[in-house]
Structure 1
Amino acid sequence: MKIPTMKFAVSVALLLAALPSVALSDEIPDNLKGTGELVTTTGGGGAFDDARKKAWFEPFSRDTGIKVVIVPTTNAKLLASVKVGQPEADLSFASGGEVQDWIDKGFLDKIDYSYFSKETLAGIPEDVRKEYFFRSHTYSVVPTYSTKKYPKGTKHPENWADIYDVAKFPGKRALPNCANTLYGGLLEGALLGDGVPMDKLYPLDFDRAFAKLKQIAPNVGRWWGPDEGGLAPQSLIDGEADMGSAWNGRIANLKQQGAPVDLSWDQSLLQYDNWVVVKGSQNQVNAAKFLAYIARPEAQAAFAKAIPYGIVNKDAYKILPKEFAENLPGAPGIAEKQITQDYAWWSQARPDGKTNLDYAIERCQAELAK
């Protein structure tokens, strides 16, 4: 399914601009107001961090009186600080593929849901609000292409089978590199591109996936890493690639700005990140207040306005324009075309003690170096 045209995107942008902003301070429950600060981590930079500041951090500080402090730390450095009993942050971010390992190693404290209103909780499915994590948002790795190469009205790549078909669609690709095996959906894309049905994808067939990657490698103009999400769409704009994969938010934001890029939801990979409270941190009450604040429909809608990622509170769909909400990851009509990445399978231990992800990255580096 192709995202609507630029004319439509502009009209949606005008509709969004007319929406009310996050609720003003006199509408915020008293139990969410406070003093002091909340220390949290960066989310990888770029449009995503900008969206968090605009939709969540700045309004939360304005409405509650609690200052949000952002520390530019890495996960490895943060976890090292937890081990010595001096956590660098109160609240952090763990992807769906990381969170169970953090729980198992005792790096997290339980989330206090007592600050969430009954109305807020009613709009949030139970599977996204667990004892040790609260879902932040969903996003997707999508097939993407240059509209300079494939103008409106012409046949363009629509799924991974097309992305991997160099006879049908010649040209350079932009694909995740080995370090981005998990979050870039590298092997899932290769297998779907080789014809594996969506409902038969897991467990992944490593041999088949790497055979397909070696086949496509000469046609890759850009390999992009986990901290290089902007390179995927930029390679389409610069002409380094004609098609490939990217995170949907990057493509949607650039398209709205007039960039010659577009995406398809067909066979896209649904992913998610989680908020977690760091073990032994100093401001856990403020962390709980923050999560209760951003879980409200108004804050969820504000985040989707800032970057088109999927929302957690289903009541936010009532605030967003229908035609905009229908193009968010995981939304009705989109979800049926998607595959949710199986983080549990990726974290499973193999006979040698390594996880499937450890094995995949090592093998990727060896195979693609040949």
Structure 2
Amino acid sequence: MKNAKIRKSIMAAVLFGALPTIVLADDVPANLKGSGELVITSGGGTWEAAQKKAFFDPFTRDTGIKVVLVPEDHAKLLASVKLGQPEADMTSVPGGALAGFVEKDAVEKIDYSLFAKETLDEMPEQMKNENGVGALLYSIGVGYNTTKFPKGKEPKNWVDFYDVKKFPGARSLPKCEKLVDGGLLEGALMGDGVASDKVYPIDMDRAFAKVAELKPHVGRWWVAGADAPQSLISGEVDMAAAYNGRIFGAKKDGAPVELSWDQSLLQYDFWVLMKGSPNKENAEKFLAYISRPEPQAAFAEAISYGPVNEKAFSLVPKELLDILPGSPAIAKKQVFQDYKWWNAKNAEGRTNWDVALERCVVLLSQ
């Protein structure tokens, strides 16, 4: 029976040109099938190509619901929602930005009743927000030049990153506008010896003191994710706070760079349903469909982002488990970034993000 199903999967892959991990129509619950359309924003490029092959095309094939794509422009999308005419039914947003969309009353609450019980059981709690469903996992960690730090002499974590005596050389850290996405304060605290499970709530005084200590050794403050690996490749810096995808992309192209997973931050995006969406039911069916392990594994194979369904890790090639954020081999070394803490407000109505941004700007201007 198992071999027959494998043969059927292979045949489906040939017929539909799908990824190795294929989602079969007869595996899709009847309550996810429908008609009409679903409008989703897309960022284009390899990102869109991976989503199309893993999510959009199989969803249309298996449910009968057509996916229509529009260019991603969150400012334009939010403006259309405010007018009561959302240009898209759904979009994806960084985990730290979700609270802002909720505050603007721009998103609908998620109805998880269409999700199979096993799907929900296989998703980490962080991926099941009442206002958004986990879209993917990615990480920021210690990237380094392997020419400067060959195997056996490489930095392993943030403690090593902040140790300029044991590991001399220039560093690269995120600029203030990227302090959350770039894990600036979390990395500083762990670099100062704070245990991974004690990072939150963040002690800003201690974190900024550590950043100030390293400041004379920072050769580049980056804004774009591509800046970190580029500065490593050019020799401008020897270590950098860097995104896993950027480092492994550069490494695949032959660059002498590597990333340490120890103490890396596990970050994530959310899918959100826009307020007033005319195709809300289709959007909910889409989320229940793509959150299953098979589509998640297909997406991970296509673009090397971590899947939000833990069972998907058992469906991808074993060699991918060493580079996928959140995989069983890596997750125990990682720290889930706490977006709820970053968006919590003080008595003055300012978020921790607001306060940290102001302090960061002052520090970097000194």
On whether the aligned pair clears a TM of 0.5, the verdict is yes
Q: Give the equivalent residue in structure 1 for 2:309.
A: 313
Contact conserved, 2:19 with 2:54, CA < 8 A, in 1?
no
TM-score of the superposition, structure 2-length normalised?
0.85
Q: Check whether the contact 1:252–1:308 (CA below 8 A) recurs between aligned residues.
A: no
The 3-state SS of whatever aligns with 1:98 is: helix
**Runs (5+) with no aligned partner, structure 2:** 1-17
After superposing the two structures, state which structure 1 stretch, 54-63 or 327-336, moved more. Answer: 54-63
CA distance in 2, matches of 1:149, 1:32: 53
Deviation sequence 1:236-276 (CA, Å, 0-9, x none): 22222221111112222332343321111111111121111
Instruction: Tell me how large the CA RMSD over aligned residues is.
Output: 2.6
- d(CA) in 1 for partners of 2:125, 2:263: 26
CA distance in 1, matches of 2:122, 2:164: 45
**What's the TM-score, normalizing by structure 1?**
0.84
Match of 2:201 in 1: 203
* Whole-angstrom distance in 2 between the partners of 1:326 and 1:180: 26
Aligned 8 A contact 1:142 1:269 in 2: yes
Residue 109 of structure 1 aligns to a residue in which SS? coil
Cα deviation 1:20-74 (Å, max 9, x = unaligned): 243255665555444443222235x665455334422344345545443333344
**Which of 334, 338, 352 in structure 2 is aligned with 1:338?**
334
Question: In the alignment, which residue of structure 1 is the partner of 2:277?
Answer: 281
Q: Does residue 251 in structure 1 map to residue 250 in structure 2? A: no
The residue matched to 1:81 in structure 2 has which SS?
Answer: helix
Look up the match of 2:180.
Answer: 182
Q: Counterparts of 2:173 and 2:47 in 1: how far apart (Å)?
A: 20
Shift of 1:127: 5.1
> CA, structure 1 residues 40+367, in 2 after alignment: closer, same or farther (shift >3 Å)?
same
Equivalents in 1 of 2:208, 2:121: separation in Å?
44
Aligned-pair identity (%)? 58
Corresponding pairs, count: 349
For 2:235 and 2:61, the matched residues in 1 are separated by: 43
**In the alignment, which residue of structure 2 is the partner of 1:352?**
348
Partner of 2:142: 143
CA distance in 2, matches of 1:118, 1:195: 40
Q: Distance in 1 between matches of 2:220 and 2:45?
A: 19
Aligned residue for 1:212, secondary structure, equals helix
Structure 1 residues 221 and 55: CA distance shift in structure 2, 3 A: farther
Structure 1: 5+ residue runs without aligned partners?
Answer: 1-17
Deviation larger for 79-88 or 93-102: 93-102
Letter in 2 for 1:283: N
What CA distance in whole angstroms lies between the structure 2 residues aligned with 1:142 and 1:348? Answer: 24
Structure 2 matches for 1:256-275, cutoff 5 A?
Answer: 256-275=252-271
Partner of 2:82: 83
Match of 1:302, as an amino acid?
A
* 1:134-176 CA-partner distances (Å, limit 9, x unpaired): 111222111111123223x340111111112222222222211
